[in-house]
Amino acid sequence: MTTDWRSETVDHVRALIVRAEPDVVEEARWKKPSNPAGVPTFSADGLICTVETYKDKVKLTFAKGASLADPSGIFNASLDAGTRRAIDLHEGDQLDADAFVALVREAVALNRG
């Protein structure tokens, strides 16, 4: 993982996920030579989301995002995907913390459904 704005963004997102669901489990999955640290995944009775860093963005992908209400409209990527939805954050973007926490809580509720 990088040590610039992207790592700060990941740390912020991680704190919001824990705020939304204190019993969340974080794991690194899908390790490979090009990404030896793997992809941070967050689960609570099923996968909630993944957090990936790219050169120009941090991508927050909700496994069942298409089934979640998004009244704040913070999903801005993978909008045509059948099951998932994502939030792409670029340097300087501000994540709506309350809307994000609500999405995480809704995803957990769906998993526990």
pLDDT in tens, 96-106: 999 999 999 99
- Whole-angstrom distance, CA of residue 68 vs CA of residue 52: 20
Give the whole-number percent of the chain exceeding pLDDT 90.
88
How many domains is the chain partitioned into structurally? 1
Which residue range forms the structural domain that includes residue 54? Answer: 5-112
pLDDT for 49 beyond 90: yes
CATH of the domain at 86: 3.90.1150
Among 103, 21, 18, residue whose Cα is nearest residue 69: 103
Exposure of 65 in the CB half-sphere (CA atoms within 13 A): 22
Question: In the predicted model, what is the mean pLDDT of residues 7-14?
Answer: 95
Q: pTM for the whole thing?
A: 0.92
